[in-house]
Structure 1
């Protein structure tokens, strides 16, 4: 069984499955960090249509309901097709600001105190939107969210893995004048057929620049992609990583190194990584001693923001109770790129939330 590195600040037997009505309130109210959120994936249909109207963009859907009805994905690629279509309405700095602020308001309501946002510059620069427009809009939202909502955040620039490494280098160079606004780089988009080693050189360059490194691996791709992300890209976090359980040696390594895994339960079910939430491996990951966290991925498309992911996952998996909720929240702080002092403040707040349990 996975055990916290320190004593629990509560008696886990007092809020277990036998007291299930208390568990959702505990999950909703506990402070938490979100480390796997694609900001473009938080673009709700209502905002897509509002921005389309503001920018004179014609959408291939007659209404908000028609667009939402199109969210019937069969795999990652079918999702990405509609995801990129939705992003076509993002043209001005104000659009990126409005999109991010909509997410931050939902995050604050879910008791997210810190978020590390992925953004995909290439999705926009390929449409002629300058990277400066993207970053400045998101940076302004970060500052506003901190001031008005008390939500701290960082930005992580992601390279689209279905494009070339040369294109990734080009994106990096375009973004470097705004280096003070993003803390690290990641790797997302279609995993199949695009192994991490395809981006070995650009990640080495980012490491030289002092950027933090993360990468999607082991979602649709095999455990071998997780090994490559660790050994070739030398990442500090694995995004998704649920297929790691297929490789016992990999599980042992991830547990020994306390390598964070940013798991996205609703996304995994929506994209058919698991057929049902009851089949999800999150409980098994915690039992194996893995540093798993819960995240929403692309919440506008996958049916829920962070608290919805917690609630539905805990309802479906009987092995998850108050002790696992505490561990997942604490993992999210420990796995963040925040300072040690800030992590401790959040962990203290988490302890206080659970102290009365």
Structure 2
């Protein structure tokens, strides 16, 4: 962990992870392996070159900070990694690799963000994404003692109607009161570039999810020119402000159950 020494006390504490985007957990080694498995040519001749490509400070907001020539933005690098994810097994391996790291750090409960739009637009079937994650969710709970409830995200910089279509496609894998739902995700949220894409743009999707008994959550990027407006919408306007109390209380109940009432720390991502 960047040379930081973790004391046995911290290492042994039960923990929760409440903010992690599963595609962003893709390690260089797994990306390299999946590229070879799926016969995908990476823009790196060797694994060492791929590793070196991660040793840069990635610009998160080029709209505000400008671009650095020759260096990808954070989201460009993030979505470039997604290119190697093609099959159900790929998504399962991605999730299990992350959940094994959770187990190694004594993370007992996690709520990964994910989306399907970044994958279905590349021709990946919805079921490949969701069945891979669902299988990992069950296996990690049974084999590792790591429990998870997932959060489906709308991509903020994609058209709203495409996000609505994505929700309808993913709905059979939802929890809540969805008839026959498979129980993968218990909430919906937002991901990708927040620049001039306020939460209320996705109100119809949030309303659909809320009616299905799902929680609504999102993170609003700090440092945006309109951060205050986005945060205000997220707290007080989305779904008329309903659900935020239930989401917070639900988190607390699940944290305490997962940790057996013991100590916990959050925000590991």
TM (norm. structure 2) is: 0.81
Counterpart in the other structure of 1:107: 102
Structure 1 Cα separation of the partners of residues 93 and 154 of structure 2: 23
Of stretches 171-180 and 143-152 in structure 1, the one that deviates more from structure 2 is 171-180
For the 8 Å contact 1:132–1:178, the answer to whether it is kept is no
Aligned ranges 1:163-202 → 2 under 5 Å: 163-179=158-174, 180=182, 181-202=184-205
2:83 aligns with one of 75, 78, 88: 88
Aligned ranges 1:319-338 → 2 under 5 Å: 336=251
Aligned ranges 1:1-357 → 2 under 5 Å: 24-71=7-54, 72=56, 73-76=58-61, 78-179=73-174, 180=182, 181-221=184-224, 222-233=227-238, 234=241, 336=251, 339=254, 343-344=256-257, 346=259, 348-350=261-263
Compute the displacement of 1:76 (Å): 4.6
TM (norm. structure 1) is: 0.62
For the 8 Å contact 1:122–1:171, the answer to whether it is kept is yes
SS, match of residue 77 in structure 2 = helix
Q: 1:76 to 1:133 in 2, by over 3 A?
A: farther
Q: CA RMSD in A?
A: 2.6
Structure 2 Cα separation of the partners of residues 346 and 123 of structure 1: 33
Compute the displacement of 1:23 (Å): 7.7
Structure 1 Cα separation of the partners of residues 99 and 247 of structure 2: 27
Compute the displacement of 1:200 (Å): 1.4
SS, match of residue 223 in structure 2 = coil
Compute the displacement of 1:157 (Å): 0.6
Compute the displacement of 1:29 (Å): 1.7
Q: 1:23 to 1:48 in 2, by over 3 A?
A: closer
Larger radius of gyration: 1
Q: 1:218 to 1:89 in 2, by over 3 A?
A: closer
For the 8 Å contact 1:101–1:141, the answer to whether it is kept is yes
Count residues with an aligned counterpart: 238
Structure 2 Cα separation of the partners of residues 75 and 204 of structure 1: 29
What 5-or-longer segments of structure 1 have no aligned partner?
1-20, 238-256, 261-333
- The structure with the greater share of residues assigned to helix is 1
For the 8 Å contact 2:21–2:114, the answer to whether it is kept is yes
Q: 1:258 to 1:118 in 2, by over 3 A?
A: closer
Deviations 1:209-230 (A, max 9, x none): 1111111114233122111111
For the 8 Å contact 1:215–1:235, the answer to whether it is kept is no
Q: 1:123 to 1:40 in 2, by over 3 A?
A: same
For the 8 Å contact 1:214–1:235, the answer to whether it is kept is no
Counterpart in the other structure of 1:6: none
What 5-or-longer segments of structure 2 have no aligned partner?
63-72, 175-181
